[in-house]
Amino acid sequence: MSGTRRYYIAFIGLLATFALAACSEAPSQPLRVGINPWPGYAPLFLAADQGFFSDEGVDVELVELSSLADVRRAFERGQTDGMASSLVEVLDADRNSHRAPMIALMADYSNGADVILAKRGITDIAELKGQRIGLEPSSLNRFILARALAQGGLSMDDVEIVSLPQVGLQEAVEMGTVDAVVTYPPISTGIEQTGLVAQVFSSADIPGEVSDVVSFNRETASRRSADIEAFVRAWGHAVDLIRTNRQESYALIGRHIGMSADELEDAYQGIEIISADRQDEFLRPGGPLASGILALGAILWPGEAGEDAKSVSRFFRGSARTSWVSVE
């Protein structure tokens, strides 16, 4: 073998060694998950604060944003790998971006926490006809209002929609620029404390229809399935902590979402948090989440070709107790 050839082979071998070392030493990027202040997502804050993610061997960065719309936009722009959101954001992101969301975790369903608050003098949904309704655009608020109006014999055409961020709703109520708002804790708590409004509708009137999930884009779901399973296990530890040490948990949660322990106690009366061992009953094909997606699509985009059971399967890749194998 010539000296030149020996040198060439040694050089290539050295490059390969460096490449392997770089791959083995490069730290994995954290799972970036967008989240806004909603008590139903709060176990994620506990999992981070208490080191449950680290205990399960997964690096997670919670990206705190002010609204569900911001959470969805960050996901669509690739600024996060996943998002804690309602099903509305999952459907919107799937419809309007190239980043296909896949549901990894059923976080909660609202059973009274999402509310419509109307100015004093309006006592039922039918009286909202012709009124100005403040809500966050491109969010679950649209669905809640549509369901409420239907129960009152009205449609979206019967009211005036005023698009506002959640953080702007209380000021709109106080200034009298809206007659009612669609909102949730902690914003709803502050608005109710003004004494200017009363509740005329809540998610308890449509039991099981308002669901929140954590989803990841398809590429992340495929490439980091073990990390996502660890993520779900950490969620389970946090839910267990809330149940066994409620006051300490509420104190930690309150630092992130700006609610006192007493306010959180009240809020959780209307929110059902789903533990890790219950994920299969919600994530199974044909289960409650799949049915919710079918119903939601029909309400959000009436008159268009809707989802069917087969197409809905693209949103699911498994659960906390099964590996992430596509059901498509």
Over range 288-301, report the average pLDDT.
81
Over range 304-316, report the average pLDDT.
71
For the residues of 117-150, what is the DSSP string, one character each?
EEETT--SGGGGTT-EEEE-SSSHHHHHHHHHHH
pLDDT digits (tens, 9 = 90+) for 176-215: 999 999 999 999 999 999 999 999 999 989 877 889 999 9
Work out the percent of the chain whose per-residue pLDDT is above 90: 64
Strand partners, 117: 181, 199
pLDDT at 305: 54
pLDDT at 206: 85
Q: How confident is the model at residue 281 (pLDDT cuts 50, 70, 90)?
A: confident
Interatomic CA distance for residues 41 and 281, integer angstroms: 19
Query: Across all residues in the chain, what is the average pLDDT?
Result: 85
pLDDT at 16: 43
pLDDT at 302: 73
Amino acid at 246: R
CB 235 within 8 A of CB 44: yes
pLDDT at 260: 92
pTM of the model: 0.77
Over range 147-156, report the average pLDDT.
93
pLDDT at 321: 38
Over range 127-153, report the average pLDDT.
91
Q: How confident is the model at residue 13 (pLDDT cuts 50, 70, 90)?
A: very low
pLDDT at 9: 41
pLDDT at 27: 47
How many Cβ atoms from other residues are within 10 Å of residue 40's Cβ?
27
Q: Report whether pLDDT(7) > 50.
A: no
What is the set of domains in the chain, with CATH numbers? 31-110+209-315 (3.40.190.10), 115-205 (3.40.190.10)
Pull the structure tokens for residue 15.
Answer: 């490059």
pLDDT at 309: 60
How many Cβ atoms from other residues are within 10 Å of residue 3's Cβ?
7
Interatomic CA distance for residues 285 and 290, integer angstroms: 7
Helix axes 68-76 and 87-96, enclosed angle (nearest 10): 30
What distance, in Å, lies between the first and last C-alpha atoms of the chain? 55
Q: Report whether pLDDT(253) > 70.
A: yes
Q: How confident is the model at residue 287 (pLDDT cuts 50, 70, 90)?
A: confident
Residue partners of 266: CB distance under 8 A and separation at least 6: 189
Residue partners of 25: CB distance under 8 A and separation at least 6: none
